[in-house]
Amino acid sequence: MRCGFNLLLALLLIHCDIKNNSQNIFDPTTFAGGTAAVLSTLVSRDEVEINSRYKSTDYPSFVKTEILDLDLNLPVAKYFEKKHFRVSENYKDDLVLRDVFPLSETKLRVLFSVSSRSEWRDPISIFIQKPDSLVDYSFSGKVLEFKFPYPRYIGSISEAKGQITTIPLLDGRILLVGGVSIFGNTLSTVEIFNPELGTSTVLPSLNQSLTKMAICSDPQGNIYVSGGKTTRTDPSIDSQINDRIYRINVNNQTVVELPIPMQRRRVGHTMVCLSNGDLLISGGQFRVGSDEHAISNDHEYISIQNGTSTLLDSSANFPINTLFHFAEYDENKHRILFFGGKDRLSVYAIYSKVIYSLDLNSKTISTLPVVLPTSRSSVTNIPVPGGDRLILGGVTGSGVGSRSIESWTEEGSITKTHGFTSRIKNESAIVTFSNAQVLYTGGVDTYYKSGILELYDHVEKKNFLVDTMMDARSEHSAIQTAKGIVIFGDSALADKKVELYGKD
């Protein structure tokens, strides 16, 4: 049967009348092309596919590590050599191909020399052609294209300010509440910034000028802000700590103070919007003082529907008084996880290195069987693919910023340290850049305000300096949007401009 088929193929090809020798034999408009195309499908071979792990939102590591690892679906890595790869002409002097070699039967490593990384605005294309020795498999070639983000201004907010309470909205806009002006006074401003248009819409103001509020969004898209303080510095009288809760409806552009004050004044607390529309408020400073007695260890349940506020029983209390902690609402397991925090404002504070879990059914708190490598407050917790939660940033003893990059995996109660940021970054912003990449923006680098953009890649388990911001900033905000990372604010800069670190 095989011999008969080969004879048929030979006869058909012999009888093809190709008048133009340059004509494509696979051109379906010709008899020869049509026959060849049909027959080639009958004897089709396995198609080689080459893929990079990087998605359009990722920052390819070859920009910094000078390598690019490629995955093949078939064991053909040995056929590919340096001569089968080419870099697009626009970057041929910036990204020089050095070597290509197999890491395994199905994995290739491409090694580059990077002579320049500035002003990479156009896409970089890497062309891969079929090796002549690859005769047992089909491969039509591949073009890998990578586009890199770059900073630029895209608009302005209503006034120069920092320490703004912010939250991304469901429609891609960003809500800004309160903050501190460049003159050092707190603000009552509420506004919405639209990254698509670069414009800001001012809503009715709060009844107070506030900073350092807690904020969350309910399932209907209502935004709640609670607590905070009326002074930039540590409060000197109890009344400078706020006990009010505001509801902001961005569709109706209304700002309403709820008729349910918190039972305690709170700043440095957390607030979670629960799936039923209620609020759970935890910890924080409730009165003047730098000792632990000025800090709360309790939780307050705000029923929006019933208009009531209830302190949970002591079985829900933190083991120590806690402020500047991070709360993660785990709706699937009906619990709230708390990371980091400290027990007082004093330099002698006790910093947390454990994770607490508050069961919302039983209203009891427990300490999970895990000890984080670093004790710190004001941490950022970011879930990443694979079940890990990254624990980033924050402050350790004596107010020193933490450089440690750590993760916690609940299955097996595993904690790991994945290295350190290049610099100390007090008052930096930490935001998800893509599925497995996190961007650090600005902050105070020991003594000086930083404009560095630093990226941690959890697949590579590496940290890179990737770019610089348009302006050095601390006490600022960085929000992930569909256009990229939006960066704004600083209470010491007379600057209303919003910059975007994006790929458009």
CB 381 within 8 A of CB 365: no
Sheet holding 245-249, edge to edge: 214-217, 223-226, 245-249, 254-257
Least confident of 52-61, 478-487, 493-502: 52-61
Q: What is the DSSP letter of 477?
A: E
367 or 25, which is more confident: 367
User: Helix or strand or coil: residue 466?
Assistant: strand
43 or 311, which is more confident: 311
pLDDT at 15: 38
Domains of the chain, residue spans: 2-42, 50-146
pLDDT at 448: 87
SS (H, E, C) 72-90: ECCCCHHHCCHHHEEECHH
Does the structure show a pLDDT above 80 at 8? no
Question: pLDDT by residue (tens digit) across 266-291?
Answer: 999 999 999 999 999 999 999 999 99
Identify the band that residue 446 occupies on the pLDDT scale cut at 50, 70 and 90: confident
503 or 15, which is more confident: 503
Identify the band that residue 38 occupies on the pLDDT scale cut at 50, 70 and 90: very low
18 or 148, which is more confident: 148
Q: What is the DSSP letter of 33?
A: H
Sheet holding 429-432, edge to edge: 429-432, 437-441, 452-457, 462-468
Least confident of 116-130, 141-155, 240-254, 435-449: 116-130
Identify the band that residue 43 occupies on the pLDDT scale cut at 50, 70 and 90: low
CB 105 within 8 A of CB 86: no
pLDDT at 488: 97
Does the structure show a pLDDT above 50 at 422? yes
Does the structure show a pLDDT above 80 at 434? yes
Tell me the mean pLDDT in the region 427-449: 92
CB 32 within 8 A of CB 21: no
pLDDT at 44: 57
User: Helix or strand or coil: residue 13?
Assistant: helix
Contacts of 132 (CB under 8 A, 6+ apart): none
**Rounded Cα distance, 218 and 424, in Å:** 35
Does the structure show a pLDDT above 70 at 402? yes
Tell me the mean pLDDT in the region 95-122: 89
Question: pLDDT by residue (tens digit) across 161-181?
Answer: 999 999 999 999 999 999 999
φ/ψ bin of 347: left (φ > 0), alpha (ψ from -120 to 50), beta (otherwise) = alpha
**Rounded Cα distance, 411 and 407, in Å:** 12
**Rounded Cα distance, 29 and 33, in Å:** 7
Identify the band that residue 119 occupies on the pLDDT scale cut at 50, 70 and 90: confident
Q: Which residues of 362-388 are buried (b: 16+ CB within 10 A; e: fewer)?
A: eeebeeeeeebebbbbbbbbbebeeeb
Least confident of 89-93, 328-332, 492-496: 89-93
Contacts of 135 (CB under 8 A, 6+ apart): none
pLDDT at 20: 44
Tell me the mean pLDDT in the region 9-23: 38
Considering the domain 50-146 in this protein, what is its CATH number? 2.60.40.1220
Question: pLDDT by residue (tens digit) across 315-365?
Answer: 999 999 999 999 999 999 999 999 999 999 998 999 999 999 999 999 999
Distances in whole angstroms, Cα of residue 160 to Cα of each of 189, 365, 428: 11, 41, 18
CB 104 within 8 A of CB 66: no
